[in-house]
Amino acid sequence: MHDSTASQPDSIDPIGLLASEVLRDLYEAVTGQEAGAVRSYRDEDAILLLLRFARNESADVDGDDFVPFLDTAILAMPGMVASAVEARTGQRLAPGNLSVCAERGLAVLAFSVLEEPAELESDEDLFRIDAGTLTTASSGASPAPIES
C-alpha cells in the first residue's frame, strides 16, 4: 500500500510504490510471512519506507535465535531495495538511516533519490576486458600460460 503525504495528496510516487513492493517481497522471502503493512512516504528527494511486522514472530521461530537473524536481514534490506529499484527503473536511491524496533514490530528505512537516473545499457558487457587496458611485462618476455 502506498500512502502519500499531506503536501501531495493526489500524487502517487511510482519509485516509492516500487520500493514498497520490493521491501514487502524481501521481508516475505526472509521470514516466510507477509509483512503487517508497508508504507511509502516521499517529500522531494527523500523517501521513507515503514515496515510493520508482527511482534510475536520472533517467538514463533526457535525463540530468541530468530531476533538477531531478523535484525541482520533487515540491515541488508536498504541496499537490496535500492539495487532492485535501480535495476527496474534506472532511478538511483541512496540508502540512509535505518531504525528497527522489534518490540513494536516496526522498521523505518530512509532513502535519498539521486538527481540523475542511472543509464540502462543492456548490451554492455560488464565483465569485458579491453585490449587497451592490458599491458605486457617490460622485460619483453611473454607471460606464462595459465594452467587450469
pLDDT value of residue 117: 54
26 three-state secondary structure = helix
pLDDT value of residue 70: 76
pLDDT value of residue 65: 55
pLDDT value of residue 19: 96
CA distance 65 to 57: 12
CA distance 107 to 121: 34
User: Three cell numbers at 22?
Assistant: 520490493
7 three-state secondary structure = coil
Centroid of chain to Cα 134: 35
DSSP assignment string, 52-118: E--TTHHHHTTGGGHHHHHHHHHHHHHHHHHHHHHHHH---EEEEEEEEETTTTEEEEEEEE-SSPP
Boundaries of every domain in the chain:
14-114
Q: Does domain 14-114 sit in CATH 3.30.980?
A: yes
CA distance 48 to 87: 20
pLDDT value of residue 22: 96
pLDDT value of residue 103: 84
Tens digit of pLDDT per residue, the chain (148 long)? 444 444 444 567 899 999 999 999 999 998 888 999 999 999 999 999 999 988 754 444 445 555 667 778 889 999 999 999 999 999 999 999 999 888 888 999 999 999 865 555 555 555 555 555 555 555 555 555 555 5
